Amino acid sequence: MSSLTDRPAQAPGSWPLFGHLKPLLTDPLGLLATLPHLGDVVELRFGRTPTYVVCSPEATEEVLRNSHRAFDKGGTFYENMRSIVGNGMATCPLAQHKRLRRLAQPAFRSGRMTGYAHLIHSQVRTLTSDWHHGQELAVLAEMRDLAIRSNLATMFSRRELGRDITGLRKAVTDFVDHQTVLRMIAPALNRLPTPRNYRYRRSEARLLRFLDEEIAAYRSDGRDHGDLMSMFTTSVDSDRLSDREVRDTAMTVLLGGVTASAVGHAWALYQLSQDAGLDAEVADEARAVTQLDEGRSAAEVMAELPLTRGVVAEVLRRRDPSWIFPRMTVADTTIGTTRLPAGAQVLLSPYVLHHRPDLFPSPENFDPRRWDGRDPHRATGWLPFGAGESKCIGYELAFMDLTLTLACIARSWKVQPCPGSVRPRPRLHMEPHGLALRLVSRKPH
Residues near ligand HEM (CB under 6 A): 89-90, 101, 252-253, 256-257, 260-261, 264, 321-322, 325, 384-386, 390, 392-394, 397-398
Cβ contacts of 444 within 8 Å, gap of 6 or more? none
Considering beta carbons, is residue 45 or 385 the nearer one to ligand HEM?
A: 385
Q: Distance between CA atoms of 100 and 111, rounded to whole angstroms?
A: 20
CB of 92 to ligand HEM, least distance (A): 8
- Strands, sheet with 325-329, edge to edge from the N-terminal-most edge strand: 9-10, 41-44, 51-54, 345-348, 325-329, 71-72
106 SS3 class: helix
Residue nearest to ligand HEM according to CB distances in the complex: 394
CB atoms within 10 A of CB 188: 8
Buried b (16+ CB within 10 A) or exposed e, 34-66: ebbebbbbbbbbbeeebbbbbbbbebbbbbbeb
- Which SS3 state, helix, strand or coil, does residue 349 take? coil
> Considering the complex, what minimum distance in angstroms separates the CB of residue 321 from ligand HEM?
4
Residue 36 or 256 with smaller CB distance to ligand HEM: 256
Cα dihedral 126/418/360/257 (nearest 10): -30
Shortest Cβ 136–ligand HEM spacing (Å): 25
Q: Which is nearer to ligand HEM, 392 or 414 (CB)?
A: 392
Residue nearer to ligand HEM on the CB measure, 45 or 52: 52
The count of other CB atoms within 10 Å of the CB of residue 386 is: 16
Please report how close the Cβ of residue 347 comes to ligand HEM at its closest, in angstroms. Answer: 11
Q: Which is nearer to ligand HEM, 19 or 127 (CB)?
A: 127
Q: How far apart are CA 437 and CA 267, in angstroms?
A: 11
Q: Ramachandran region of residue 440, left (φ > 0), alpha (ψ -120 to 50) or beta?
A: beta
Over its C-alpha atoms, the chain yields an Rg (Å, rounded) of: 22
Identify which of residues 77 and 200 has a Cβ nearer to ligand HEM in the complex. 77
* Dihedrals phi, psi of 198, to nearest 5 degrees: -65, -45
Contact (CB, 8 A) for 175 and 204: yes
Quote the least distance from Cβ 231 to ligand HEM, whole Å.
Answer: 11
Cα 422–chain centre separation: 20
**Rounded-to-integer distance, Cα 164 and Cα 168, Å:** 9
Q: How far is the CB of 198 from ligand HEM (least distance, A)?
A: 29
- The amino acid at residue 367 is D
Q: How far is the CB of 325 from ligand HEM (least distance, A)?
A: 4
Q: Which is nearer to ligand HEM, 45 or 140 (CB)?
A: 140
Shortest Å, Cβ 412 to ligand HEM: 23
Q: Please say whether the beta carbons of 157 and 228 come within 8 A.
A: no
Closest listed residue to residue 408, CA positions, set 273, 270, 301: 301
Considering beta carbons, is residue 112 or 414 the nearer one to ligand HEM? 112
Query: What is the rounded distance in angstroms from the CA atom of residue 168 to the CA atom of residue 318?
Result: 33
Q: Nearest distance from residue 402's CB to ligand HEM, in Å? A: 6
Shorter beta-carbon distance to ligand HEM: residue 325 or 371: 325
CB 139 to ligand HEM: min, Å: 15
Shortest distance in whole angstroms from residue 2 CB to ligand HEM: 27
Residue 301 or 393: the one with the smaller Cβ distance to ligand HEM is 393
Nearer to ligand HEM, 150 or 338 (CB): 150
CA 97 – CA 377 distance, rounded (Å): 23
Q: Which residues pair with 335 in a beta bridge?
A: 338
Q: Are 411 and 308 in contact (CB under 8 A)?
A: no
